[in-house]
Structure 1
Amino acid sequence: MMMRQQKAMEAFHRYPRDDGDKLAPGSSVYDLNSSTYGYLVNICKQEYPCPPLVFLYAKMSLHRYNFAQGTMFELIRVQKYVKSTGSANASYYMTLDAIDSAGSLQTFQNKVSEYSVGRFILTCPIARIRGEPIDGKGFSTLVDSTLPECPAVNPFDTYYLVKESELLENPWIRLYLELAVAKTDRHYEDRGAGLADLEIVDVAIDEGQGLNANNAVFYIRYKDLYKANPGHDLVRIAIVRRNFDEAMGRLTLVGQTQSSDVIPNMTKIANEEDTGCSSFKGQIQSPEHPTQISSPLGISEDHEEANQLAMMNLRVEEAAGDSMELDSPSAQDA
């Protein structure tokens, strides 16, 4: 581990920077045409399409832009993405095309970073039209990585239920669900497998927060028709916390999925993760005597080490100027 840290620091010192602590002209990560130390360049073509997870990350980054700017851009395609290497957690620098409601086609240069192995903890510190200045500081500081838990009351009985019309007007709610499932329920298969087969049943949110609040927790009850077979729960719940830091210009999404069986008097499912969620007549309650249950999201010592290294690499990456590379002359003239 120490050797990998030393290599990361060597890469930091080798990275070209000018006197203003910005990347030198031509050094933008987004403008890389071939892979180099620490970065893997991927061009998305018809014969080599963009992976489903990267496509979701691109949608998340556009959501970050729309949320901050009050726009309604929709993803058209991902031209290419540059993936950081050297740790299990990666940053994705994506060049993508999107169109707004008026038909204006724009090219974006966005970034999404993973913060934990095998968990749904994502940040988007950069999302902008190529050539535009960065809103906010554009780099990451400490992220609240605690997973959101079920409340002591049934949110679908107590909290505000999102209307069907609001679901249609806010497609990012489904994006939250797809990200939660792809990051937590699709460990041993294609990350995009069965996402089209997810059916939203209810969405609840605390009335004190609201759909457009910077800080909000969403409770999404859904049917996973892709895994509708013995041994898997048909009805589940995704819990997603959103935080948008205006000063930093950073969107953070943290969440997980849980079992939520609606059969009356159903006892807690044996392999359900113990975070306070149990299913009794479709309600979400806190168990009286929590027990330690092994979970596919459990972090081993190796994962903890990988996470620590990834956090260090990300800080080195940010310190090297990845939040400012878009201000380089080459990026602005592109």
Structure 2
Amino acid sequence: MEKKVTTFPSKKMSSRVPFELYDEYLRGQMEYWRQVRESGGFDLEDISVPQGTTGLMPYDCEREDVRYPDPVLVKRYARFGLHRYNICHGTNLQFHHLKKFNVTMICQATYYITLAACDPATTSLVTLHLGVAEGCRDACSLNLTCFIAKLEDTPCEPFQLPDTEELVDDAQLPYWPSDFNDCQRFYQVKESELQDNDWIRLYLELALCTNDRELEDSDLSQLQIVKVAIEGIQGNETLQAAAANVYIMFKGLAMASIGELGEHVVRKVIVRRAFNEPAGCMTLMGGYGLSIGEVAEERDTSRPNFIDLFKAGKFIPYRGPMTGPPLGGILGRKAIEEGLFRDYGQD
């Protein structure tokens, strides 16, 4: 007599799947996430990923043939995590290079970053593990929390995706003040202090990059800080106030979605820094343009896609090995037709 196979209905599949296959799939998922939890979300090289898993996407930043999304933004996320480590430990480690990172494949992503930092006193490199989570950006273009900042060999809690609703500071961004003359409320940063406090420029770049992910290093290098004022949230109006509103006036951004066009235009950014002491987290919430109430005509600042750039002779197509189509859908087929990926051949 033929053995009867137990099946179960699937919402995603019109056919019936053998129970043995489903049981094997569940066991694979459980084993994958068990290993991820033990690693803290960082070292996943030896962890096999079962088919159909929506887990963490790993990127090795030290390999020249690996490209990863939003490289400008990810580097600044890493610098933000290093900034939090320096504040909490009283160190002055400097960013050296990204080693790798793992990221959740959701809209509000969480990054588990491994980077190399340099100690200026000894010129030696140390490796840090950093956890940075994106929060809801309904009201603010910048909503970022660093929930892990530690040396690589330091034990950490088992991996768990953070609840960003619990981590973020729920206070709203303030309105831009009419002036900064109240010295009891504001600390006006001197020009000579900007170089020794590079976190101010980092906050500015984060506020802009999270608002426009197509910005490149060349765009950010043109920025000039005009004025900075620090407002201590807890009445501590000093440069190093742990919880503070940071008001930044700058110029050098040629293309902006709000306000006039041109590098000469002085623009405004507000960044709110806060610490969640019970959770040991540092949060940045910030705004630019409409996020801080600037009323002006909004425009589309999207850059031309890479097909247009290729036709104009301003794009060098990738020449590395291809194991699959470079892009899906209509845009991918169009790219192949235009000859951008000549090394890719379809069977």
Q: Same fold per TM (> 0.5)?
A: yes
Shift of 1:14: 6.0
Q: Residue 42 of structure 2 aligns with which residue?
A: 30
SS for the counterpart of 2:254 is: helix
What CA deviation, in whole Å up to 9, does each residue of 1:97-133 have, x standing for no partner? 0011212310111111111257210000001111124
Structural mapping, 1:1-334, within 5 Å: 16-17=33-34, 23-24=37-38, 27-33=39-45, 36=49, 37=53, 38-44=55-61, 45-48=63-66, 51-85=71-105, 87-102=106-121, 103-117=123-137, 119-134=141-156, 141-144=166-169, 147-155=172-180, 159-184=186-211, 186-187=212-213, 189-190=214-215, 192=217, 194-206=219-231, 208-209=235-236, 210-227=238-255, 231-232=260-261, 234-258=265-289, 273=290, 275-277=292-294
Query: Could you tell me how far apart the structure 1 residues matched to 2:250 and 2:95 are?
Result: 24
> Structure 1 residues 115 and 106, CA, compared in 2 at 3 Å: closer, same or farther?
same
Shift of 1:195: 0.7
SS for the counterpart of 2:42 is: helix
RMSD: 3.5
What CA deviation, in whole Å up to 9, does each residue of 1:42-72 have, x standing for no partner? 1113454661111001100000100100100
Query: Could you tell me how far apart the structure 2 residues matched to 1:228 and 1:179 are?
Result: 15
> Structure 1 residues 77 and 144, CA, compared in 2 at 3 Å: closer, same or farther?
same
SS for the counterpart of 2:169 is: coil
* Preserved contact between residue 187 and residue 239 of structure 2 (Cα < 8 Å): no
The structure number with the bigger radius of gyration is 2
* Preserved contact between residue 120 and residue 183 of structure 1 (Cα < 8 Å): yes
* Preserved contact between residue 78 and residue 96 of structure 1 (Cα < 8 Å): yes
5+ unaligned residues in a row in structure 2: which ranges? Answer: 1-10, 13-25, 301-347
* Preserved contact between residue 148 and residue 241 of structure 1 (Cα < 8 Å): yes
Instruction: Say which is worse superposed, 153-162 or 208-217, in terms of deviation.
Output: 153-162
Shift of 1:145: 5.0
> Structure 1 residues 232 and 294, CA, compared in 2 at 3 Å: closer, same or farther?
closer
Shift of 1:155: 3.1
Shift of 1:147: 4.6
Query: Could you tell me how far apart the structure 1 residues matched to 2:133 and 2:177 are?
Result: 32
Query: Could you tell me how far apart the structure 1 residues matched to 2:168 and 2:256 are?
Result: 35
What CA deviation, in whole Å up to 9, does each residue of 1:196-224 have, x standing for no partner? 11110000112633222221000000003
Shift of 1:231: 4.2
Query: Could you tell me how far apart the structure 2 residues matched to 1:295 and 1:253 are?
Result: 26
> Structure 1 residues 12 and 217, CA, compared in 2 at 3 Å: closer, same or farther?
farther
5+ unaligned residues in a row in structure 1: which ranges? Answer: 5-9, 259-272, 280-292, 297-334
SS for the counterpart of 2:73 is: helix
SS for the counterpart of 2:116 is: strand
Shift of 1:149: 2.5
Amino acid aligned to 2:135: Y
* Preserved contact between residue 32 and residue 48 of structure 2 (Cα < 8 Å): no
Shift of 1:255: 0.1
